[in-house]
Structure 1
Amino acid sequence: MQIQVNTDKNIVGDEAFMHHIENTLNHTLSRFSDHITRLEVHLSDENSASKSGGMDRRCLLEARVAGRDPASVTDQALTVEQAVHGAAHKMVSLLDSELGKMGHH
């Protein structure tokens, strides 16, 4: 499973941060790794760094599943890590449902 992480201009992510995001997603979605060819991660700060706010860190996950249309989920939270964690668990639920219908998980 290839993971591509994209950030907007308001999210500062060094190599260690990106590695942590990839590890979190690999761990949470590991049982689907035979089905997911690519996972695109889009991280953003909806209010930008100039404004303070609540649940403004957003994670959009788009999974490219072999032989199927892409599946996507989003989550918003106080931190990027929380948004990634929430989106990953939503993706597990979505893939359980979609692949379960096909008898593949």
Structure 2
Amino acid sequence: MLVQINTDTRVDGTEATSDAIEDRLRERRSRFGDRLTRVEMRIRDVDGDRNGARGIEAKLEARPAGGQPIVVTDQGASTDAAITGALRKAVEILDRAFAKHDAVR
């Protein structure tokens, strides 16, 4: 599975940050095995210098093998909060999608 992390210029996009995000993505998606071919995370600062309660946006795109991409977005006061929310949403949607797919088999 390919993991790609993209950040805007206002979000810390160092290699250490990318590695930490990749570790979290791999940990959460390990339950799906080889069912995902690619996961892409885009993180951006949506409110500039205001640093409000929803200042960071994390958009996660997961591509199931042979299926349509699933895209979720979450916003939080910190990068960690936004990533956690996006991961939670993606796991819920993927669990449902794969459960339906397995039931049809």
Structure 1 and Structure 2 fold alike (TM over 0.5): yes
Match in the other structure for 2:11: 11
How far residue 61 of structure 1 moved from its aligned partner, in angstroms, is 0.3
Pairwise mapping of residues 60-99 of structure 1 onto structure 2 (< 5 A)? 60-99=59-98
**Structure 2 gaps, min length 5:** none
TM-score (norm 1): 0.91
Pairwise mapping of residues 34-73 of structure 1 onto structure 2 (< 5 A)? 34-48=34-48, 50-73=49-72
SS at match of 1:10: coil
- 1:58 and 1:83 in contact (8 A); partners too: yes
- 2:10 and 2:44 in contact (8 A); partners too: yes
SS at match of 1:13: coil
- Structure 1 counterpart of 2:100, which letter? K
The structure whose residues are more often helix, as a share, is 2
How far residue 9 of structure 1 moved from its aligned partner, in angstroms, is 1.7
The count of aligned residue pairs is 103
Percentage of pairs with the same residue: 38
How far residue 82 of structure 1 moved from its aligned partner, in angstroms, is 1.3
- Structure 1 counterpart of 2:35, which letter? H
Distance in 2, Cα, partners of 1:86 & 1:28: 12
SS at match of 1:54: coil
Distance in 2, Cα, partners of 1:7 & 1:44: 6
How far residue 58 of structure 1 moved from its aligned partner, in angstroms, is 0.7
TM-score (norm 2): 0.91
